[in-house]
Structure 1
Amino acid sequence: MTTPYNMVTLSPSLVLQVLRNRLLLKASTKIRGDLVHKPGSSVYAGFDPTSDSLHVGHLLTIIPLIHFQHAGYQPIAVLGGATGMIGDPSGRTKDRESLSTDFVQENIIKMSSILSTIFSNSLSLVSVTPAQPVLKILNNADWYRDINVIEFLSGFARSFRVGAMLHKESVQLRLQSEHGISFAEFSYPIFQAYDFFHLHQNYKTWLQIGGGDQWGNISSGCELLNKCTQEDIEGLTVPLLLSSSGEKISKTANNAIWLSPNKTSPFQLYQFFLQTPDDTVHQYLLNFTFTSFEEIERIILDHLSNPEKRIAQVHLAKQVTQLVHGERGLEEALISTKALFEDQQLLYSLSRDSFEKLFKSVPSVSLSKEEVKSSADKLVNVVYHLPGINSRKKARKLIESGALHINSKKVESIDEKWSHDTHVIRDYISVIKIGKKTVQLIKWT
């Protein structure tokens, strides 16, 4: 169990210290230590609905919002119904594809559900007061619909200097690229700053949180709003989540681990964090969980004493899965993990409905029983159909190395015969495990 802690009385500077200690603070404006905000003050983060799901990289932005929520601040998530149609140039080499209004609106509905679920689940992981402010989800298209474009350009946009905008790293990279940058994406920072201005005027918002690649947009927006309002308007960025190769985990990089159970199942999310390397797990416990510092230190000491048990990774995977998918999602992930890696009898006892529910996002291929009966004798001639294998040569290498398991049983020989009675569960499915991490399914028709 997580050790809950109560942040309700913390000031902004103390929350920043918590984020710093949890390695969640990459950069920030100079937030005064004596800064005090009126009751009802809010902090926000923006998410453009370019996909129907958020991904694990977004958790590094969401979790600081939760920390501020538990310090008594109103958390606001702004979904870019307007800015998502424009496109943020940060981290891209060419313009984003144009999105339809219907597509964006559908994504907003799905993202809103994910955010609401995460904030609701966080209540079981951190102790809170009855007066806990709840998440407010806004769509920035709601305030742009009534703005006259001429008034916007001659008013708010007049404060932006083209020279300063041209010097932004994201703009420079695009100017030097083959595709250049459109005026629409060049103007994105103006709209991002106006979002902050609107929130400050209407929701007492004083802080914007964003990813590390947003620092240019956030800091310039804060500078402008400080001049416009003569008040303390602040911003901070969090580290980007990187893959083992150092690449940003994102939709653009095509390596996202999604927060929607329809795209990445609770089992897959659990497995992603369970496979965290030893040299990263301490950082991830600080980043992704609300476990107390004392508890984390105890977990790390236990882990170092018994590294084969992966104590730290198990705690991390449980905490993140519960945050994203709740207790029921965690239970599904644990049952799936036990069935696939620990208890062969449990795997064979699962009903067809249970398979469909627990492994619905696991990659699969459909094969005809009649086709296989007539064309396959050796097991290698069946498993090569899987997306993760794709060739008989690779299938043979996996078997020879002892890396291929069918229904939790290791395949011992490349000459092993395929048997429908032996290799198919409930006349319906075969579970193929490749190495320690990859699981795929054969669904029989």
Structure 2
Amino acid sequence: MAAPMLRRFPRGRRFGTPGVSGVLLLGQREARSGAQGLLAVQKARGLFKEFFPEKGTKVELPELLDRGSGSFPQTVYCGFDPTADSLHVGHLLTLLGLFHFQRAGHNVIALVGGATARLGDPSGRPKEREALAPEQVRGNARALRRGLEAVAANHQRLFANGRPWGSFTVLDNAAWYQGQHLVDFLAAVGGHFRMGTLLSRASVQARLQSAGGMSLAEFLYQVLQAYDFYYLFQHYGCRVQLGGSDQLGNITSGYEFIHKLTGEDVFGITVPLVTSTTGAKLGKSAGNAVWLNREKTSPFELYQFFVRQQDNLVERYLKLFTFLPLPEIDHIMQLHDKEPEKRGPQKRLAAEVTKLVHGQEGLDSAKRYRMITEGGVSINHRQVTNPESVLVVGQHILKNGLSLLKIGKRNFYIIKWLQL
């Protein structure tokens, strides 16, 4: 197979994503304020943490997104490696970042790393990731694609804001790596990277100084991520990459690669990492993942994770994990100051996230489950706190085939069982 083509992407080229229109019917003044507001508001919320390159993002990026919010929507992407068969809470902030761009009228791409997952990203990891079999990676990639599309569908259906949105597309980088010949790829791409620059990355330095060192496969991960950015720039006009704060080195490699080949500027934006109360990064590797797949973490367990958040974190999490306007969050926190025992912010946070991830049905099931576990249900005047309880004849079902069900304080039901 021929080496990958490296060509210049002309400035200002338009593109479209099938099935979704990216044109917004906004006046020029509205477009300008909306785009600048996107960056400023998300920075104020704490969702957008770092911008790269710093110099360019003070002027060029707001102008680029200003133009994009009018008749020329931009494209933003974020990568998700399928190292497991489900996304987890640690992925939510980058996914929400994509959604905020989509809501502002830009086209967004969620890139499943069906190829890069075979190498393993060394960023923020003290040791090498355990290698996955090709068929396992492919299965995980299919599962991640379904998960991303499901959350995107909930977002589209339940969180509309009355404005035209950009498109949401899921791609897999295995599509452009499968069939590549190693020597052809290295001959076309490898000469554009300098070893000294790659070795200087903080993630690389940390691993080189660790007891286990760093494998060649891990070291080349940043080259493939840089090429992903370049490929999406060439084929989709993608100018912005979104990632966790541990991805800054990889994003920088992509910027340098694209700028060297095309002379064009692209941009990177990072979001904060989600950590536990001990400061550990939430995820599969740390063993503390809260999964978005309901078969691995139920809607109730996801709801409980957020409803248990401490008072000193809940305002920040409302800004990060929800689409609630900042004035509404301020109002919620003012009510909380008056009645902290009601845990109003925690319940609203848990409801918003559970609805986004699992839909309205998932939120309803989580609330029903919670009512049972907290003693809000009784059968025949006996409190039931285990949702998995088996109904016993003579205890839950009387001999006359009736059950008296009480839900909450005022809701009573008489159930007639047709078969015992």
| TM-score band w.r.t. shorter chain | 0.7 to 0.9
Candidates 17, 22, 31, aligned match of 2:40: 17
Candidates 194, 205, 215, aligned match of 2:227: 194
Q: Does 1:127 align with 2:161?
A: yes
Candidates 340, 344, 348, aligned match of 1:307: 340
Counterpart residue identity of residue 212, structure 1: S
- 1:400 equivalent in structure 2: none
- Gaps of at least 5 residues in structure 2 are 1-24, 398-420
- 1:162 equivalent in structure 2: 195
Deviates more, 1:37-46 or 1:20-29: 37-46
Counterpart residue identity of residue 281, structure 1: V
SS in structure 1 at match of 2:63? coil
| Distance (whole Å) between structure 1 residues aligned to residue 330 and residue 322 of structure 2 | 13
Provide the alpha-carbon RMSD of the alignment: 2.6
Candidates 216, 238, 249, aligned match of 1:183: 216
Candidates 42, 47, 62, aligned match of 2:80: 47
Counterpart residue identity of residue 267, structure 2: E
Paired residues for 1:323-338 under 5 Å: 323-338=356-371
| Distance (whole Å) between structure 1 residues aligned to residue 145 and residue 165 of structure 2 | 19
The 8 Å contact of residues 375 and 385 in structure 2, kept in 1 or not, is answered as no
- What's the offset of the Cα at 1:350? 8.4
Paired residues for 1:390-429 under 5 Å: none
- 1:216 equivalent in structure 2: 249
- What's the offset of the Cα at 1:119? 1.4
| Distance (whole Å) between structure 2 residues aligned to residue 156 and residue 40 of structure 1 | 29
The 8 Å contact of residues 154 and 357 in structure 2, kept in 1 or not, is answered as yes
- 1:381 equivalent in structure 2: none
The 8 Å contact of residues 126 and 290 in structure 1, kept in 2 or not, is answered as no
Q: Does 1:246 align with 2:246?
A: no
| Distance (whole Å) between structure 2 residues aligned to residue 226 and residue 339 of structure 1 | 58
Q: Does 1:26 align with 2:49?
A: yes
Counterpart residue identity of residue 296, structure 2: K
Deviates more, 1:258-267 or 1:6-15: 6-15
| Distance (whole Å) between structure 2 residues aligned to residue 143 and residue 98 of structure 1 | 21
The 8 Å contact of residues 112 and 137 in structure 1, kept in 2 or not, is answered as yes
| Distance (whole Å) between structure 2 residues aligned to residue 79 and residue 161 of structure 1 | 27
| Distance (whole Å) between structure 2 residues aligned to residue 203 and residue 136 of structure 1 | 11
| Distance (whole Å) between structure 2 residues aligned to residue 151 and residue 106 of structure 1 | 28
Counterpart residue identity of residue 124, structure 2: G
SS in structure 2 at match of 1:165? helix
- Gaps of at least 5 residues in structure 1 are 1-5, 357-419, 427-445
- 1:137 equivalent in structure 2: 170
Counterpart residue identity of residue 257, structure 1: V
C-alpha change, 1:238 and 1:232, in structure 2 (3 Å) is same
- 2:123 equivalent in structure 1: 90
Paired residues for 1:99-110 under 5 Å: 99-110=132-143
Counterpart residue identity of residue 41, structure 2: V
Percent identity between the two aligned chains: 41
Can you list the C-alpha shifts for 1:221-262, whole angstroms capped at 9, x where unaligned?
Answer: 213312322223111110001110111111111011110000
Counterpart residue identity of residue 67, structure 1: H
Counterpart residue identity of residue 209, structure 1: L
C-alpha change, 1:261 and 1:348, in structure 2 (3 Å) is farther
Q: Does 1:61 align with 2:94?
A: yes
| Distance (whole Å) between structure 2 residues aligned to residue 13 and residue 231 of structure 1 | 21
- What's the offset of the Cα at 1:149? 2.0
The 8 Å contact of residues 196 and 205 in structure 1, kept in 2 or not, is answered as yes
Q: Does 1:72 align with 2:95?
A: no
The 8 Å contact of residues 377 and 384 in structure 2, kept in 1 or not, is answered as no
| Distance (whole Å) between structure 2 residues aligned to residue 70 and residue 334 of structure 1 | 28
Candidates 162, 174, 195, aligned match of 2:207: 174
| Distance (whole Å) between structure 2 residues aligned to residue 169 and residue 140 of structure 1 | 25
| Distance (whole Å) between structure 2 residues aligned to residue 133 and residue 421 of structure 1 | 56
Can you list the C-alpha shifts for 1:274-329, whole angstroms capped at 9, x where unaligned?
Answer: 00100000000000000111111110000111000001101000000001000000
SS in structure 1 at match of 2:114? coil
- 1:435 equivalent in structure 2: none
C-alpha change, 1:421 and 1:169, in structure 2 (3 Å) is farther
Counterpart residue identity of residue 200, structure 1: F
The 8 Å contact of residues 192 and 260 in structure 2, kept in 1 or not, is answered as no
The 8 Å contact of residues 54 and 258 in structure 1, kept in 2 or not, is answered as yes
Q: Does 1:150 align with 2:183?
A: yes
TM-score with structure 1 setting the length: 0.75
